[in-house]
């Protein structure tokens, strides 16, 4: 149990376009979902925390207007990178929790902005 | 405040020999501690978790970790390394309240397995 999926696994887009990444908890209801960004050979950097039905809480330095997060249901959260630029290229990973503090991670999405 | 220090950025061992990945933490609370593994271009997979029950925690794939409060350590071990263990390993500490604002990641240890 506790499987988290992400879609797409890879995406390449042109500079200036927007990209949506989905995160789903497949076999449990996630009270909270998290979005991380990971640069090559580095640890994960938390971008934002989202609870179903409420606004996401962004970490300091993360532009909320650029990284739009929607958590419409207990099994789905989306991250939209708006007006993407090459510096937004990264590996984006989501995670989800049930009632405990254990986070279950998705497989990640590799975003490349040309 | 809490922090996690993974003492080695890279560890190289021969296949079949023991693995030791070191992690020290600091926390104002009685923390939960985790080890995650990440294979290239993949998400993180939970190896094991300590939550104040038994101090020796057994995880998947033959890994285990021992919580030592006196040493503030949570080192990850495996008796015999396998080629498939080559990956990045993250030690993570969480405060009892859980949630992302209580989650702190170590910088990771890259495990290399020599044939």
- Residue-by-residue DSSP string for chain A: ---EEEE-SEEEE-TT--EEEEEEESSS--SEEEEEEE-TTS-EEEEEEEETTS--EEPTT--TTTEEEEEEETTEEEEEE-S--GGG-EEEEEEEESSSS--EE---EEEEE-
- Work out the widest C-alpha separation in chain A, in whole angstroms: 40
Q: How many Å from the N-terminal Cα to the C-terminal Cα in chain B?
A: 41
- Partnered with residue B65 across adjacent β-strands are B57, B76
Chain B residues touching residue A50 (CB < 8 angstroms) = none
In chain B, whose CA is at the least distance from the CA of A97? B99
* B41/A46 CB distance under 8 A: no
Chain A residues touching residue B107 (CB < 8 angstroms) = 42-43
Residue A19 confidence class, pLDDT cut points 50, 70, 90: very high
The span from the CA of B109 to the CA of B98, in Å, is 24
Min Cα–Cα distance to chain A from B97, Å = 8
SS3 state at B41: coil
pLDDT for the residue A53 = 80
Q: For residue A26, how many other CB atoms are within 10 A of its CB?
A: 13
Residue B53 confidence class, pLDDT cut points 50, 70, 90: confident
Pairs of residues, one from chain A and one from chain B, whose beta carbons lie less than 8 Å apart:
55
Mean pLDDT to the nearest integer, B13-30: 92
Q: Looking at the complex, does the CB of residue B79 fall below 8 Å from at least one CB of chain A?
A: no
In whole angstroms, what separates CA A110 from the centre of its chain?
11
The span from the CA of A88 to the CA of A21, in Å, is 13
Mean pLDDT to the nearest integer, A57-84: 93
Most confident residue range from A95-109, B40-54, B80-94, B98-112: B80-94
**Token duo for residue B82:** 């396998």
Min Cα–Cα distance to chain A from B81, Å = 22
Q: Looking at the complex, does the CB of residue B49 fall below 8 Å from at least one CB of chain A?
A: yes
Cis omega (within 30 of 0) on the bond before A8? yes
Asked if pLDDT for residue B21 goes beyond 70, the answer is: yes
Chain A residues touching residue B105 (CB < 8 angstroms) = 43-44
Residue A43 confidence class, pLDDT cut points 50, 70, 90: confident
A interface test, pick of B2, B35, B44 with most A CB neighbours within 10 Å: B44
Of residues B94 and B98, which shows the higher confidence score? B94
Residue B54 confidence class, pLDDT cut points 50, 70, 90: confident
Contact A88, A105 (CB under 8 A): no
Mean pLDDT to the nearest integer, A37-43: 85
In chain B, whose CA is at the least distance from the CA of A107? B43
């Amino acid at each position: 149990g506790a499987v988290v999926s992400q879609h797409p696994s890879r995406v390449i887009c042109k500079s200036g376009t927007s990209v949506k990444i989905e995160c789903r908890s497949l076999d449990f209801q996630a009270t909270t979902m998290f979005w991380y960004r990971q640069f090559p050979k580095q640890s994960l950097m938390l971008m934002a925390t989202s609870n179903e039905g409420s606004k996401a809480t962004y970490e300091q330095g993360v532009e909320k207007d650029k990284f739009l997060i929607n958590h419409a249901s207990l099994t789905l959260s989306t991250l939209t990178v708006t007006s993407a630029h090459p510096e937004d290229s990264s590996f984006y990973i989501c995670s989800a929790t049930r009632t405990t503090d254990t986070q279950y991670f998705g497989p990640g999405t590799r975003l490349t902005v040309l | 405040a809490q922090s996690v220090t993974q003492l080695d950025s890279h560890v190289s061992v021969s296949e079949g020999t023991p693995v030791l990945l070191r992690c020290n933490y600091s926390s104002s609370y009685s923390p939960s501690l985790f080890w995650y593994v990440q294979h290239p271009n993949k998400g993180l997979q939970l190896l094991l978790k300590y939550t104040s029950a038994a101090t020796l925690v057994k995880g998947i794939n033959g890994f285990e970790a021992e919580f030592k409060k006196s040493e503030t350590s949570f080192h990850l071990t495996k008796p015999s390394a396998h080629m498939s263990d080559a990956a990045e390993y993250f030690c993570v500490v969480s405060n009892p309240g859980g949630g992302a604002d209580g989650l702190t990641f170590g910088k990771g240890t890259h495990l290399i397995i020599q044939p």
